[in-house]
Structure 1
């Protein structure tokens, strides 16, 4: 079992892993603009694909048209987000696109399930860092 500090460190390592993947040019699928803002505030700056207002098949078509064969999936962590993730994974994998869900799973694990959405990630981490006593 990890301490609060160890969970925060693990969560920060996941963010670093995400940055490395983005530097390789792998786009991140998120639900909306607030998710993008949260991730950018954490220093993640890459290609973001927002999917809340676009049918999944259209996103798959666009990825294939742009020769993108791998994505990172960061939908929200609530029930709706899990269902959305499942639908996206099914559609994209059926088209031969690799979907990285590991980063999403690690964020859920190291946030103790306290996070409900990606847009809260920056605030969640910021508050944890502020609460550290040295």
Structure 2
């Protein structure tokens, strides 16, 4: 990958983080699978309202918490089979209302399918910066 491509992808990841920060600063919630996913987003500059799916006892508890406290749910679950299954389950419990799954697809598009889990986004980003010389 040449320098120009790397710069474009870095820029797209930064824009992605800015957008989820903007959207989650109010009454939206970003939901990730685990602690390492949250740490990766934080490392990349995400300072929005992030919660970990596995901290909830069940999808029903998540749905109850969401309905009481938020208007919109941004799902950033992994792009693997487990993440797909969890996404379907959450969407079913919430009747697909006020759920944004588009950011998951954007990660895949930005990284050209190279990132399958949210926690991998950090190492992918770092690999783009490895040996970076901004000149």
Which TM class, normalised by the smaller chain length? Answer: 0.7 to 0.9
Report deviation, 1:62. 1.3
The corresponding residue for 2:68 is: 65
Give the whole-Å Cα distance in 1 for the aligned partners of 2:27 and 2:80: 27
The corresponding residue for 2:125 is: 125
Q: TM-score, normalised by structure 1?
A: 0.83
Give the whole-Å Cα distance in 1 for the aligned partners of 2:86 and 2:131: 33
8 Å contact kept, 1:69–1:97: no
Report deviation, 1:10. 2.0
SS in 2 for 1:27: strand
Cα deviation per residue 1:3-48 (whole Å; 9 max; x = unaligned)?
4432332222112211111223421111111111111111111222
SS in 2 for 1:118: coil
The corresponding residue for 2:85 is: 83
SS in 2 for 1:121: helix
Does 1 or 2 have the higher relative contact order (CA < 8 Å, sep 6+)? 1
Q: How many residues align?
A: 130
SS in 2 for 1:85: helix
Q: TM-score, normalised by structure 2?
A: 0.83
> Unaligned stretches of 5+ in structure 2?
none
Q: Residues 1-134 of structure 1 correspond to what in structure 2 (within 5 A)?
A: 3-52=5-54, 54-66=57-69, 68-92=70-94, 94=95, 97-134=97-134
> Unaligned stretches of 5+ in structure 1?
none
